[in-house]
């Protein structure tokens, strides 16, 4: 029995790790889904004033992004690197969803370049996830430092 070798880290630690994985992965996929809904929903509203609705989509996405960092840092108590990784995964899922939506729209309308849209399925998550990782790493590191210097922010 592979998990029973260590008395303390047996099957209970495996169950705990699965519960933790479920929490952060659900947060990442929820954030990614919300990014897709924001991208598609605000795009439909963009007819009268493109600038206003695009700016609104960016602001709402930024709120979701900061909320995800806050959830990972304070609720799940992850390290800055793990927080950044999970937040970047959420952003990459959202970018993939938007690239997939663009591909489906292209197929339905007969417009666009199918080859470039297939490339977008790979490129959009990368060009979104890497900067999201860097910014989340910096923000969660700053949160960690602030938390050390302010005794009231240490949590329960």
**Residue 139 counted as domain residue:** yes
**Residue 83 counted as domain residue:** yes
**How do residues 36-94 score in pLDDT, each as one tens digit?**
999 999 988 878 788 999 999 999 999 999 999 999 999 888 999 999 999 999 999 99
**Residue 23 counted as domain residue:** no
Contact status, residue 61 vs residue 42, Cβ threshold 8 Å: no
Domain count, the chain: 1
* Distances, alpha carbon 71 to alpha carbons 31, 37, 94, 112, 114, in Å: 11, 20, 18, 38, 38
**Residue 12 counted as domain residue:** no
**Calpha distance 82→93 (Å, rounded):** 16
**Residue 4 counted as domain residue:** no
Chain center to CA of 44: 23
Phi, psi (deg, nearest 5) at residue 9: -100, 50
The 10 Å Cβ neighbour count of residue 25 is 13
**Residue 33 counted as domain residue:** yes
Q: Which domain holds residue 57?
A: 29-153
**Calpha distance 44→98 (Å, rounded):** 14
Question: Model pTM?
Answer: 0.80
**Residue 62 counted as domain residue:** yes
Contact status, residue 156 vs residue 112, Cβ threshold 8 Å: no
**Residue 7 counted as domain residue:** no
**How do residues 96-150 score in pLDDT, each as one tens digit?**
999 999 999 999 999 989 899 999 999 999 999 999 999 999 999 999 888 777 6
């Amino acid at each position: 029995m592979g998990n029973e070798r260590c008395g303390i880290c047996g099957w209970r630690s495996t169950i705990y790790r699965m519960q933790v994985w479920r929490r952060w992965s659900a947060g990442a996929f929820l954030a990614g889904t919300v990014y897709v809904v924001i991208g598609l929903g605000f795009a439909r509203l963009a007819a009268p004033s493109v600038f206003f609705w695009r700016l609104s989509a960016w602001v709402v996405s930024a709120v979701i992004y900061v909320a995800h960092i806050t959830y990972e840092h304070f609720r799940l108590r992850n390290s800055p690197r793990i927080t950044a990784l999970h937040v970047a995964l959420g952003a990459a899922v959202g970018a993939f969803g938007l690239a997939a939506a663009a591909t489906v729209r292209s197929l339905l309308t007969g417009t666009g370049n199918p080859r470039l849209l297939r490339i977008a399925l790979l490129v959009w998550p990368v060009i979104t996830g890497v900067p999201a990782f860097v910014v989340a790493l910096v923000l969660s590191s700053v949160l960690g430092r602030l938390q050390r210097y302010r005794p009231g922010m240490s949590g329960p």
